[in-house]
Amino acid sequence: MPSNSPLKVLVRSIRGWRNKVEHQTSRHRSRSSPGSVWCKKVELGILGLLFVLWLSTFTCRAADENKLEVFSWWTSGGEAAGLEALFSAFKSQNPGVEIVNASVAGGGGSAARPVLQTRLAGRNPPDTWQTHPGLELMDQYVAPGYCEPVTDLYKTNGWDNAFPKNLVASMMTRDRKIYAVLAGVHRGNVLWYNTKLLEANGIKINFGKMTFDEFFAACDKLKAAGIPALGVGDSGIWASAELFENTLLGVVGPQGWSKLFSGAMQWDDPQVKQAIKLFAKMLDYVNPDHSALSWDQAIKALMEGKVAFSSMGDWADGEFVAAHEKEREDFGWINHPGTDGSFIVIADGFTLARNAPHKEAALAWLKTVGSKEAQEAFSPLKGSIPARTDVDRSKFDGYHQWSMDSFAKDQLVASCVHGEAAPAAFQQVLNDVVTAFLVDKNVDNFANTLVQAARESELPK
Ligand code: BGC
């Protein structure tokens, strides 16, 4: 016990108290008087109690140190399966550590992120949390000082060459310090379809490329057959915002995209308005119960043949895998109309909390997340491709191989809907303006609101 431990100090004060009592009573009684025996008993009782308390603080702390709290919003079928694969990889390397799965349901993190912010502001952080790189990581977590850098992990594990250098440098690094470890990279601009339903309605897909006209022609055929062509589950409005984001890219292309997010193109540019009009047209083909469904329920509706298409990031692939659907036979995919040659990057990483309650375990977790084994186990279930570029491709199915090829050769652009390309305030206005648009279909209002939001947030004007 250290010489000034609270226990020692207490022991000293009890001894002092006893000496004082004894000193006072000894003036009147002999040392073996009942008063002196009583003092000794009380002292022994208190000391015993303190000893038990002291021991329990040690055992509690030891038990607590063997925990790891991981915060995410991975709760759908494919998401939970992917997370579980990361947990298994971690447990096999760290058998004594208990994982606390602090996930908050809600696609795109719409419910989880506010909970996380409250915890961070209240200095009650989980050890590690899911984050998108780019502005979400930098503005919401690094700038307020909620994260510790993890640069050393890259050095000690030889990761400098394993992860895509540009992505790490441009979206995860500040002042030469790296702030997250990527688990996987999703592709946002994918149009999924029910193969049998399209065949039954005489719709042929020219693999890889689809124009807006071809898409609307297919939608009309389905509409004539009484089938809602486009499955949307926007109980979390981000899912409709994603349909717009994909359509916007289909019109402005990757060059236009960087112009928009660097201020060289305005949000009321004719091209943006054209994208808003196409978005409005798509809404005519959407399932009527869209606002009652979550994104994964919309994918389920596609599997059940209730809708034919869904424009959604490839976490949707995780749902097909979880449901044992067969590639090509049951479901297929293609670039969202007009977006062939581009890849909307929606990457998932994990952070290290400043003052993490279980820092050693958090570092071990990040080491697992960045390991080849964990990345090879996670992405086949989650729908993403591994962030590491040195994985064994033969372990991946047809969709993943397609996405890996696209990541290697296509233009990569950052997602606004998933917090990478724009500040949270702009992302929120986009969600709000999409909510309003579903009702009023007012193109000018949509565009002008975004111009205003770009002016007010730190997005270049
Ligand atoms: C995340 C994915 C997740 C999706 C739907 C995205 O923001 O990056 O990992 O599966 O939201 O919840």
Tens of pLDDT, residue by residue, the chain (461 residues): 333 444 444 445 445 444 444 444 444 444 444 444 444 554 555 444 444 444 444 434 444 679 999 999 999 999 999 999 999 999 999 999 999 999 999 999 999 999 999 999 999 999 999 999 999 999 999 999 999 999 999 999 999 999 999 999 999 999 999 999 999 999 999 999 999 999 999 999 987 789 999 999 999 999 999 999 999 999 999 999 999 999 999 999 999 999 999 999 999 999 999 999 999 999 999 999 999 999 999 999 999 999 999 999 999 999 999 999 999 999 999 999 999 999 999 999 999 999 999 999 999 999 999 999 999 999 999 999 999 999 999 999 999 999 999 999 999 999 999 999 999 999 999 999 999 999 999 999 999 999 999 999 877 54
Q: Which fold has domain 66-185+346-401?
A: D-Maltodextrin-Binding Protein; domain 2 (3.40.190)
**Ligand 1 centroid to 30 CA: how many Å?**
79
Mapped onto helix, strand or coil, the DSSP state of residue 140 is: helix
Helix (H) or strand (E) holding 228, with range, is none
- pTM, full prediction: 0.87
Angle at 115 between CA 114 and CA 118, to 5 degrees: 85
**Ligand 1 centroid to 110 CA: how many Å?**
10
Number of C-beta neighbours around residue 289 at 10 A: 16
Question: Who lines ligand 1 at CB under 6 A?
Answer: 73, 79, 107-109, 186, 315, 346, 348, 418
Fold match between 66-185+346-401 and 190-344+416-456?
yes
Atom number, ligand 1, closest to the C-alpha of residue 313: 4
**195 exposed, middle or buried (CB, 10 Å; 0-12, 13-18, 19+)?**
middle
Residue nearest to atom 4 of ligand 1 (CA): 108
**Ligand 1 centroid to 84 CA: how many Å?**
15
CATH number of 190-344+416-456: 3.40.190.10
Q: How far is CA 362 from CA 89, 118, 147, 192, in A?
A: 14, 20, 12, 36
Domain ranges, ordered by start, for the chain: 6-25+33-64, 66-185+346-401, 190-344+416-456
- DSSP letter at 230 equals B
CB of 249 closer than 8 Å to CB of 257: yes
- Report which residue type is found at 285: Y
Number of C-beta neighbours around residue 108 at 10 A: 23
Handedness of CA 293, 86, 164, 179 (dihedral sign): positive
Can you say how many angstroms the Cα of residue 59 is from the centroid of all Cα atoms in its chain? 34
Query: Which phi and psi angles does 191 have, rounded to 5°?
Result: -110, 115
Q: How far is CA 31 from CA 47, 230, 396, 404, in A?
A: 21, 93, 84, 87
Residue nearest to atom 10 of ligand 1 (CA): 315
Atom number, ligand 1, closest to the C-alpha of residue 419: 7
